[in-house]
Amino acid sequence: MLSCVINPSAHKGDPRLPPTGILAVNPSDSSCLAEFSKHYQLRQHFLFNSRLYSNDFLFLAGPAVGAPMAALCLEKLIALGARNIVVYGWCGSLSPFLAAGDLFLPTSGLSEEGTSGHYPVPKDRQEDSLFHRSLLQQLQHHGHNPQQGSIWTIDAVYRETREKVERYAAQGILAVDMEYTALRTVAAFRQVDLAAVMLVSDELFHHPWTPKFSQKRFRTASATILAELCTLVQSGELQ
């Protein structure tokens, strides 16, 4: 294995995190974290340009937009003790089978980001985990009906071309985001569990593009789902 110049590590004054917690990648969702930290009596810690809160049972981190920043935050969380990470974010839909407001759990990904290629991971190390299945079951138990499938992860949000949307949709890829394949690869490389749940924020298969993420109803629904995930982790239901 190649020797890296810099390795993620815990420093003096850093917290020791509990094994299970949430990385909320979107800024509008992560703005809820301060409120949740008061409810769960979490302590605030440094996490680069992001935020980190924790107690003995739960950690909350975010935002972390884009693959490089998301991977950087995840590496630090793992160095501090994270072993079961729920990623919560938004995704765009490539298919009419996945509508705005639906929940989506990616099971595989097509990478067009530049981060995951730096982490040599065998393909069989990136398969669905028991942790992913536990998250799916808990969401179903609480009345949700998440869709599952493959996602396309891209660095350049303004280069999601109509041609690629149509081609990838024809290949069965359901959604697009900016972080998932990098986070999944880092987790596999570090041998920790990671599962993602995403709220569909926009529909790219329409002409013109149909965004929903600026609507108050969508933002409220997203905050509600994040609150439900906090409850699942804090209660120990998600293992």
Q: What is the pLDDT of residues 81-121, one digit of tens each?
A: 999 999 999 999 999 999 999 999 999 999 999 999 999 98
Report whether 181 contacts 111 (CB < 8 A): yes
Strand partners of residue 153: 111, 177
- pLDDT of amino acid 122: 77
- pLDDT of amino acid 49: 93
Q: How confident is the model at residue 230 (pLDDT cuts 50, 70, 90)?
A: very high
User: Which range, of 14-18, 24-28, 30-34, averages the lowest pLDDT?
Assistant: 30-34
CA distance 48 to 63: 10
- pLDDT of amino acid 46: 95
- pLDDT of amino acid 126: 57
Provide the 3-class DSSP secondary structure of residue 185. Answer: helix
Strand partners of residue 152: 110, 176
Does domain 20-235 sit in CATH 3.40.50.1580?
Answer: yes
pTM of the entire predicted model: 0.96
Q: How confident is the model at residue 239 (pLDDT cuts 50, 70, 90)?
A: confident
Long-range CB pairs of 135-142, under 8 A, 24+ apart, other chains included: 135/86, 135/105, 135/195, 135/197, 135/238, 136/105, 138/232, 138/237, 138/238, 139/103, 139/105, 139/197, 142/228, 142/232
Residue ranges covered by each domain of the chain:
20-235
Report whether 74 contacts 86 (CB < 8 A): no
- pLDDT of amino acid 238: 84
pLDDT at 11 over 90: yes
